[in-house]
Structure 1
Amino acid sequence: MKQTLTAMAIALAALTAGQPSTAQAEGKLIVSSPQDPGSWDPIDTFLVNWASLATNVFEGLTYRGPDMKLVPGLATSWEVLDDGLRIRFSLREGVTFHNGEPFDAEAVKFTFDRLLGNEGAKGPQQANYSAIDSVEIIDAHTVDFHLSQPDAVLLTKLAGYGAMIVPPRYITEMGDDVFNIRPVGTGPFRMTSYEPKIGVKLEAFEDYWGGAPELSELEYRFITEPATALAELQSGGVDLVIPPTIPVGMIPTIEAADNLELVTTAGPTVTALRFDTSRGITADADVRKALIMAVDRETIVNTVLGGQASVIASFQGERSFGYDPEMKPLPYDPEAAKDLLKKAGVAPGASVEINTRGNDATFNEVAQAVAAYLSMVGVNATIKPYETNVLLNDIIPQGKTGEMFQQSWGGWTFDFDNTAYAMYHTGQKWNPYDSDPKLDEMLETQRPLADPAERERLLQEIAAYAADRALEMPLYNLNAIYAINKRVKNFEPAPDSRLKLNHVSVE
């Protein structure tokens, strides 16, 4: 099968061979993306770099754009019924998939049966939609979602990732392996070639229900090295560099260029150093608190990050539902940190390993600063970088990290549930070490609450409880930083990096 898929990828690449490859081609936009997600199936992924491209290929029943407002997508309207246990969606008519297959109620039911079934169980998205018990077809353009319990975030979840509507006939006939590399959706662009680790080419879908895109072609190049991405931007090899590529140290170079522009916006991405709470010195909550207090996070934000972030007290930013403005981070207090370490029996010279994403130049600078601060309280930190996919798909989920490991989380729903459940609930992929029945109960209790104020209060309690247990060293909420050629017009930066580029044009 592997040889067959490789041959197919080569064949797909050949579809666009001989076309202009420079960013100066009229009607063509070239984007630098730092990571190949490895699969284009919506239920296989959690990666922001998937969404920054695939938002142009796939659509959900709802849509949330850069202004953060939830609006109709493939559903024109919806009605919440039966005390939140049923949602009726009216579907958009006259919509077709890129292969000509019609979008209808059958496609919606197929999508969610697949997501909530055996195929979805293989990926990371199924747990986000566990409140959906079944999808019932009322007629060709009406469906009812029957829920096992109310889910206050479900309508937002339907705007992204696993809930993207997929074509039943295409997947049934071609199979999941083909769909992974040759996706078909209803979005404004359709994929014409995918070369793993190299890039993706798309063309305008002229029959798009929202009108043909301004661009005729869209290309994403996978450029992992920030310096290479910036050089390509300067030379015209790419038009747009998306987060999280641009290290803060490169910002002055971009700002000094006459033809380039820096565009930033407060994003959902929060970064922390999470702890192995199961063994070693970080099994002790007091030791974890000492390590947090040993690090001057404010100085890191102002120096290493050039002020393009804000210090966080919990694993969420201020736009997140569940954020508590009264909650303060543990203070920078190296003397108190030394006292805690001494009381915990941690002798000077103790060591910890910090695992990072190797291609994240900015965070590796942050990690060096953290290591320097830890050394001042007698803890020797070594930094071990991994290739991003290896760290995210093997090292963390399999519980093979060092005492501390980088976790950057998009929290794209801007609701703390999306982060907290994944990070803290027993058995979740991103929680390989910790199991806390009280925390599990809190997480489960807030999910079905219909009262927003009550749910927000409980989310704030969850954040405080996790902070008291020091499950991670909260570091910062990073701005989404885009670098763009000024010939690109009508570009609007998405806080969550989910770019829909059908209204963008190039001169």
Structure 2
Amino acid sequence: MTASKSPKLGLNPVRRLLVGASLAASVALTTAWPTMSFSQEVKDLVIALSTPVTTVDPHFHNLTPNNGMAAHVFETLVKTDPALKTYPGLAESWKALSDTEWEFKLRKDVKWHNGEPFTAEDVAATIKRIPNVPNSPASFAVFVRAITDVNIVDPHTIRFKTKEPYPLLPADMVSVAIVPKSVAETAKTEDFNSGKAMIGTGPFRFEQYVSGDRVVLTRNKDYYGKQPDWDKVTFRMITSAPARVAALLSGDVHMIEGVPTADAAKLKKDKRVEVSNAVSNRMIYLHMDSDRKTNSPFITTADGKPMEANPLTDARVRRAMSKMIDRNAIVSRVMEGQAIPAGQLLDEAFFGTSKKLKPDAYDPAGAKKLLAEAGYPNGFGVTLHSPNNRYINDGATAQAVAQFLSRNGIPTKVDTMPSNIFFSRASKMEFSLILAGWGAASGDTSSPLRALLATNDPKAGMGGANRGRFSSPELDALIAKAIVIIDDEKRDAALALASEKAIELMGLIPLHYEVSTWASRKGIQYGGRADQYTLAQDVKRAK
């Protein structure tokens, strides 16, 4: 297997038509924005982000906004294009020497932002740091867990040994940001956030991070690759969707991510704006406390009284909840068509998905029958917790889910909060039912299977984002078997089988896949990405 060969990662041709589709758009808002196109003389770019960057430590919290920001300053051995096809990054090539050993040849023309040369020593130190980052709410350890030994052959050749055959290693390296050895061995998360440890090899240098407000980067004039179009990029964190649109239309920012679904349809006639769309690798789902047999913190009787039993441990109850939710209604009314109903962990165009899995049909009668079979004919009460500034229409989606559950026998309250608070509390298992999302950076189902559904095992790097503590030895065995199969076709089928088992057991409840939308001022072009990253190095001036 070489860098030029990538299995069925990315989108099929029909889905891919959405990726990078640019169209003139309009918003029915009054603005003082000039009618002329974006000035070609402007060297600085201002982008509005929809979700706060919670840290710039590339190994602390495996979260899309953090990972996307890290990709400006730090680089990985293997990179992915907008459709998640792999291509060389800091590694110019890679190959399997045997079933249990991989060799990566590193670029020789790369320097760190401090002028020191990039070598295999940096890669080895990075691999060692990742599992040992303290208090990580969603660890990156899952991406290095298979590596049992690191052998530096020479300054630009490194080999990784694994206990078992592990064909996913190059795909895992997509998510491992490489840092200098000196940083990996000494830096704490606060050193990154202060800027002290922000030494990368990427196209931008770090200038400033103000939590909850902005990140400022400057062009790395010594970058070995193609130079960005911008001398300086300021990312402003504007969580309010109307405020982002207003900032774009007033000229305060040049580009925004997370275009509100309500405004996307209005962006047709204004020739000053360009919009790009991409079907994402992000599944929005429900995670349930399926571990605690009793006293789940937000479970009550249907009339709100304390309840010792935890019905969420029963797969029939979880399936009943899935049948209570009208996904088509959520997609059409809440998401205004900017989503796809989900029946599995990734859209079926991706690697490791199953043609057999379809979204559960809205079936209140079937749901009530399952509840009765499980011993809860009168239902029960629950609180659904959700972020309100992380995913597209996340708070509104949570409200819609709660309404469907409530009208069909499970009275449901909703409690939404900022994402930084939500993830911290959810990782501590403070909730009974949560709405969250997962983007598979690898472009295949091994990512959500290992992170969301495998039994939580920090030492093994499995279940790092399993905030329901779902556990099934049978599913664990299927995952373990699938991820060591060398043959792409057989691994695809094995991952699909594991996906089917995960959905059969309702380890989580898939809701929908997001369609991501970006908008920019005329004269600026951005193609959109399936991983939802907003990368300034890919923002171009119109030719």
Same structural fold, with TM-score higher than 0.5 when normalized by the shorter chain: yes
Residue 332, structure 1, aligned to residue 326, structure 2: no
Q: Give the corresponding residue for 1:344.
A: 374
In the TM superposition, what are the counterparts of 1:79-478 in structure 2 within 5 Å? 79-83=95-99, 85-116=100-131, 118-119=132-133, 122=136, 124-160=139-175, 163-170=176-183, 177-182=190-195, 183-242=198-257, 245-277=258-290, 278-279=292-293, 280-348=310-378, 350-359=380-389, 360=391, 362-394=393-425, 396-402=426-432, 404-427=433-456, 428-431=463-466, 432-478=468-514
Is the 1:268–1:319 Cα contact (8 Å) retained in structure 2? Answer: no
Offset from partner CA, 1:373-409 (integer Å, 9 cap, x none): 2233232111111221122122x2221113x211200
Per the alignment, do residues 369 and 192 of structure 1 end up closer, same or farther by CA in structure 2, a change over 3 Å counting? same
SS at match of 1:158: helix
Q: 2:529 aligns with which of 494, 503, 506?
A: 494
Per the TM alignment, residue 361 of structure 1 is displaced from its structure 2 partner at its CA by: 6.1
Per the alignment, do residues 204 and 306 of structure 1 end up closer, same or farther by CA in structure 2, a change over 3 Å counting? same
Residue 71, structure 1, aligned to residue 87, structure 2: yes
Is the 2:43–2:232 Cα contact (8 Å) retained in structure 1? Answer: yes
Q: How many Å separate the matches in 2 of 1:347 and 1:387?
A: 35
Q: How many Å separate the matches in 2 of 1:456 and 1:318?
A: 12
Q: In the alignment, residue 532 of structure 2 is paired with which amino acid?
A: S
Per the alignment, do residues 350 and 114 of structure 1 end up closer, same or farther by CA in structure 2, a change over 3 Å counting? closer
SS at match of 2:277: strand
Offset from partner CA, 1:50-90 (integer Å, 9 cap, x none): 1222211111111111143211111111221022x222222
Q: In the alignment, residue 326 of structure 2 is paired with which amino acid?
A: D
Q: How many Å separate the matches in 2 of 1:326 and 1:426?
A: 24
- Runs of 5+ unmatched residues, structure 2: 1-37, 294-309, 457-462
Per the TM alignment, residue 452 of structure 1 is displaced from its structure 2 partner at its CA by: 2.1
RMSD: 2.2
Q: How many Å separate the matches in 2 of 1:164 and 1:384?
A: 34
Q: In the alignment, residue 342 of structure 1 is paired with which amino acid?
A: A
Q: Give the corresponding residue for 1:18.
A: none
Per the alignment, do residues 426 and 349 of structure 1 end up closer, same or farther by CA in structure 2, a change over 3 Å counting? closer
Q: How many Å separate the matches in 2 of 1:292 and 1:504?
A: 39
Q: In the alignment, residue 262 of structure 2 is paired with which amino acid?
A: G
Per the TM alignment, residue 503 of structure 1 is displaced from its structure 2 partner at its CA by: 5.0
Offset from partner CA, 1:10-66 (integer Å, 9 cap, x none): xxxxxxxxxxxxx97811111111333332222112111112222111111111111
Higher helix share: 1
Per the alignment, do residues 471 and 368 of structure 1 end up closer, same or farther by CA in structure 2, a change over 3 Å counting? same
Q: How many Å separate the matches in 1 of 2:122 and 2:165?
A: 23
Q: In the alignment, residue 407 of structure 2 is paired with which amino acid?
A: M
- Runs of 5+ unmatched residues, structure 1: 1-22
SS at match of 2:404: helix
Is the 1:37–1:45 Cα contact (8 Å) retained in structure 2? Answer: no
Offset from partner CA, 1:165-215 (integer Å, 9 cap, x none): 111235557665323432111011111111121111111100100143221
SS at match of 2:84: coil
Q: How many Å separate the matches in 1 of 2:392 and 2:57?
A: 28
Q: How many residues align?
A: 476
Q: How many Å separate the matches in 2 of 1:100 and 1:419?
A: 38
Is the 1:55–1:499 Cα contact (8 Å) retained in structure 2? Answer: no
Q: In the alignment, residue 409 of structure 1 is paired with which amino acid?
A: W
SS at match of 1:463: helix
SS at match of 1:127: helix
SS at match of 2:164: coil
SS at match of 1:369: helix
Per the alignment, do residues 308 and 197 of structure 1 end up closer, same or farther by CA in structure 2, a change over 3 Å counting? same
Is the 2:125–2:184 Cα contact (8 Å) retained in structure 1? Answer: no
Is the 1:27–1:505 Cα contact (8 Å) retained in structure 2? Answer: no
Per the alignment, do residues 273 and 336 of structure 1 end up closer, same or farther by CA in structure 2, a change over 3 Å counting? same
Q: In the alignment, residue 484 of structure 2 is paired with which amino acid?
A: P
Is the 1:106–1:137 Cα contact (8 Å) retained in structure 2? Answer: yes
Q: How many Å separate the matches in 2 of 1:290 and 1:119?
A: 39
Is the 1:120–1:126 Cα contact (8 Å) retained in structure 2? Answer: no
SS at match of 2:68: helix
Offset from partner CA, 1:244-302 (integer Å, 9 cap, x none): x3331222343453322221111100111122223523222222222211221112212
